Amino acid sequence: MEKTSNVAKKTRKATLLAKKTDKKVSGSALMARLWEKMLKDDISPSTLADKHLDMAYSYLMMLARGTAAINQLKVKQYLKMAEYLGIPLMQVMLLAEAVTPEDFFYNAGLEERVQLVYEKMCKDPVYMGFAPNLHDWDSLSLNLKLSFCVMYENCCQTKLLNVADLIQVEEPA
């Protein structure tokens, strides 16, 4: 029983430290997901670091406080986090802000193609009611505009945006 109470105390202390992080800290969404799962699994931060993420407890705490950059980890560490959370690697990298939605599109003329999709959506009799007005559209970030466009293109089976092709890389023999 004493061991459990020590784990609980350490977990509460680490959780309080993690909650003190600035919301603007890059990758705070990933740390929040790790903390939620850690609490759900009823394990301590040191167990999370040592047994699940293969990193030092002190480094995990630096990531939680935002004093170490979570968006600059090696892929191997993102893979460990993805495995622990049970989510795809790219989702972990998006949560860590190591990649952005724009990274999945060919950038030359991206804003022009996004505008073309918006114009097409506004003229589409089925979806015109869902399209934001021009004032709202112009105030959206490129990430949100891309979200609208990708959803519209998936519904309508159009391909005005050039989504990055998945390339299979063969392992060397």
For the stretch 77-101, pLDDT in tens is 999 999 999 999 989 998 998 887 7
**Which residue did the predictor score with more confidence, 154 or 88?**
88
Q: pLDDT higher for 165 or 134? A: 134
* pLDDT in the model for residue 164: 45
For the segment 104-125, what is each residue's pLDDT rounded down to a tens digit? 766 657 788 888 889 888 988 8
Question: pLDDT confidence of 14, banded at 50, 70, 90?
Answer: low
pLDDT given for residue 165 in this prediction:
40
Higher pLDDT: 5 or 74? It is 74
pLDDT per residue over 25-55, tens digit each?
778 889 999 999 999 999 999 999 999 999 9
| Confidence at residue 10, expressed as pLDDT on a 0 to 100 scale | 54
Q: Which amino acid is at 65?
A: R
105 beta partners: 163
pLDDT at position 116: 86
Task: Look at residue 61 in the predicted model and tell me its pLDDT.
Answer: 92
Q: What is the full DSSP assignment across 106-164?
A: --TTHHHHHHHHHHHHHH-TTTTTTSPPHHHHHHS-HHHHHHHHHHHHHHHT---S-BP
Q: What is the pTM of this model?
A: 0.55
* Average pLDDT across the chain, whole number: 79
pLDDT at 2 exceeding the cut of 50 = no
Domain ranges of the chain: 2-99, 102-156
Which listed CATH number (1.10.260.40, 3.40.50.2300, 3.40.50.300, 1.10.3720.10) goes with 2-99? 1.10.260.40
